[in-house]
Amino acid sequence: MYKRINGIQHIGVGVLDSEKSQKWYRQFLGMDIRMFDGVAPAPLMDVYTHNETITKRASMILNLQGGCAMEVVNPTSFEPRKVEFDIELGDIAIYITQVKSRDVQQAYNYFKAKGAKLLSEIVQMPDGSSTFYVEDPNELIFQIVEGKNFYTKTKHVTGGPNGCVVGVTDIDKSRKLYSDILGYDQVVYDLTDQFADFKSLKGGEKKFRRVRLTQSNPPGGGFAKVSADTYIELIQAIDYTPQKVWKGRIWGDVGFVHIGLDVRGMKGLGEDLDAKGFGFTCDTQDTLDMGGTTRVHCTYIDDPDGILIEMIEVYKIPILEKLGIFLDVEKRDPLKPLPDFMLKALRFSRIKD
């Protein structure tokens, strides 16, 4: 059976107010293509919601310039909660979502002029590239980084997400999953120090080990042209005992709730993951209907620190929903990207403010 992990498909984001958050993501991150949007119960997530089925609004949004999607999750059956303590860099969670830009200085100027809550000036990452940090309306941190492999060009100053920063307790232990199994096996840098680009973040003056990873295999799947290269940066606090950001809270509360990976051959992958100690914690078993327009097979695993990783095998997606045009992904070559006319037709789903 063919099986493959293509790479990051999306980052899951739990928010207080979907409309307000999505408007911010459109204005500052250019995430103006809505793939699906619907309200439904989430029985799959019972294992992460104290065995009570919640109802949530889920919206998958995309920046067609390039990068991954974001799944914006806003519970409707309860009021989502923020963390009840001051989070510090190194705490255990998906801590930052990274967003790529062709011109970091131009992006910084735009964010500043439009009144975004900037957390830093432009600083240098360990590889010498430029970056800055910004906070969204939910007090979640986004990092604008230098990017490459953009799909289209619009007037917006950024593309979409191309990775995330994950706080872990033991990087070597975590890499047994992220590198050895999930395919993020190429090391961009592996350094232990105090880092200038972290110092503006709470707790960022401390000493960390940080390992930035990408895939040695090229990304695959229908949206590979758009998502392109993606990164996972693991950080480990050296002189600080980290706290678990999700302790006492549930999936759907405020925060980066999961990393979503695009896969093919879910059954075979599940057998492999189970044999290596990372079996599915929940599984739709078959297709799941997302808002009536998208059919997928979803599963979840936990990383060594309990951070959620979703795996998604897509069967049907809307290309131009208003005209009833959909794509049956099951019948396609799993490595072949969608043709440009289909991908670019997504622009007709653009939300304008």
pLDDT tens digits for range 268-289:
999 999 999 999 999 988 655 5
pLDDT tens digits for range 77-128:
999 999 999 999 999 999 999 999 999 999 999 999 999 999 999 999 999 9
CA distance 328 to 238: 48
Segment 218-236 mean pLDDT: 90
CA distance 175 to 185: 8
pLDDT at 329: 63
Where do we find the tokens 């992460």?
A: 48
pLDDT at 149: 93
Residue 246 contacts residue 258 (beta carbons within 8 Å): no
Amino acid 167 reads G
pTM, full prediction? 0.94
